[in-house]
Chains A and B, each alone.
Chain A
């Protein structure tokens, strides 16, 4: 009897796995439900600054669902443009990350085994210093009387300093710089596993190096490319710090809009609606990432 019961009781494994899952459920999944709820509330001057959805008057329960926040997002072109330009910036920055990161990952994976770890360490080493400090350093490089402009003037290439800081170009530079390790590491993990004999076989069969690359290496690294691209693109859509510090006043990104709604306008319901719409936009990429990461990211992220 007890033996039969035990089949239905959770075993020791569950006791180990359950607490972290419960933690993530409580502090990661439930908050989205609450954000969804608050996105249907009204703003009010109080603490917390939103109205309750349900109301008990006498014996009747009234549930008020206010869709005005979402209608507001639809009507005000600021939000639509912000989503669009965030997606655009994310896609273009991811493309450049791939363009820069792929050769680096490829070169590291072809190094002798002993030097690979040193090379990988050099890739992640900058992330150990503060992210804000590195962005601050880029501001110092790109500003009008910064290192880059002074150098170019000294070379005589330009007479007037180029306006780079506070333009979209600065934002692209910042994002590609900051997210490059997230592209290189999954790509490296993939590329390092490739069997060199496949390339040799391709050469034997008469492939030129670039043909062998296009027909063998590139298709084999597809999963790594997707994992790396998602690891860059999804967080960049909601990026706040880089556009705030390096972009101009007109560099529209949705993370910045959400921040302003929350901290400057104190409009929590609209901020929640902005977050929920962003989440809906990102669900498909997150699912693609989840699918590929189980295969690809299992390597090193440190």
Chain B
């Protein structure tokens, strides 16, 4: 499951395109390469990254919580939805964010699997950067950096607020306990 993590993109892109072409030849699938083939290819190379993020969180999971829920009569499905899923929710969110960024940013794999009718933003940026300096790209860069800075600042602020709240709660609990 971890090989896609390090596999050079040119290899992944070329071979998955050859799969699509072969499937088109034999089964008549994916005759039109476009959004669908880009989706499949992006899911394939993002899965490994998301797996790493979520499995590391699952590894830290306190098993006794699940066992407690089972002792209290919950079945496995219920335990998963009521206990496991809420605990790993932050990892799911960061896994999703990672996959989102990787997919949004990908040039090489998209170039291989996209048809003539579909272009992604990185493909546009790449072709205009290859041509040389262009004010459009500078404008795009400014926009992107502004958006990411604002989002990062909000994220950082929320995290800091939560941490403070947690510490306050802990102190409160300690005082009440003592």
Contacts and interface: CB of A to CB of B under 8 A. Distances in A.
The yes or no verdict on A and B being binding partners is: yes
A240 B108 contact: yes
A30 B130 CA distance: 33
A31 to B, nearest CB: 3
Interface string A31-69: 110110010000000001000000000000000000000
B16 interface: yes
A126 to B, nearest CB: 9
Interface string A140-164: 1000000000000000000000000
A9 B21 CA distance: 36
Contacts of B35: none
A98 B97 CA distance: 27
A128 B148 contact: yes
A181 B52 CA distance: 16
B18 A34 contact: yes
Q: Among B1, B10, B49, B105, find the residue whose CB has the most chain A CB atoms closer than 10 A.
A: B10
B72 interface: no
A80 interface: no
A129 B108 CA distance: 17
Given A27-B41, A241-B126, A302-B97, A129 B145 contact: yes
A136 B15 contact: no
Contacts, number: 174
Interface string B5-44: 1111111101110110110010000000000000011011
A46 to B, nearest CB: 11
B133 A140 contact: yes
Nearest to A36: B15
B35 to A, nearest CB: 16
Nearest to B141: A133
Contact of A290 (B3, B133, B145): B3
Contact of A118 (B9, B59, B145, B156): B156
A16 to B, nearest CB: 10
Contacts of B9: 235, 238, 240, 255
Nearest to A137: B141
A19 to B, nearest CB: 11
B52 A301 contact: yes
B125 interface: yes
B6 A289 contact: yes
B119 interface: no
A296 to B, nearest CB: 10
Contacts of A135: 129
A272 interface: yes
B68 interface: no
Contacts of B18: 31, 34-35, 38, 268, 272
A297 B47 contact: no
A237 B15 CA distance: 17
B122 interface: yes
A132 B44 contact: no
B98 interface: yes
17 contacts: A20-B1, A24-B47, A32-B15, A35-B11, A130-B122, A132-B107, A133-B137, A133-B140, A235-B6, A239-B8, A255-B8, A255-B10, A272-B14, A285-B6, A293-B2, A298-B59, A300-B53
Interface of B: 1-12, 14-16, 18-19, 21-22, 25, 40-41, 43-44, 47, 49, 52-53, 55-56, 59, 76, 94-95, 97-98, 101, 104-105, 107-108, 111-112, 121-122, 125-126, 129-130, 133, 137, 140-141, 144-145, 148, 151-152, 155-156, 159, 163
Interface of A: 12, 20-21, 23-24, 26-28, 30-32, 34-35, 38, 48, 114, 117-118, 121, 125, 127-133, 135-137, 139-140, 230-231, 234-235, 237-241, 244-245, 255, 258-259, 262-263, 268, 271-272, 275, 278-279, 282, 285-286, 289-290, 293-294, 297-302
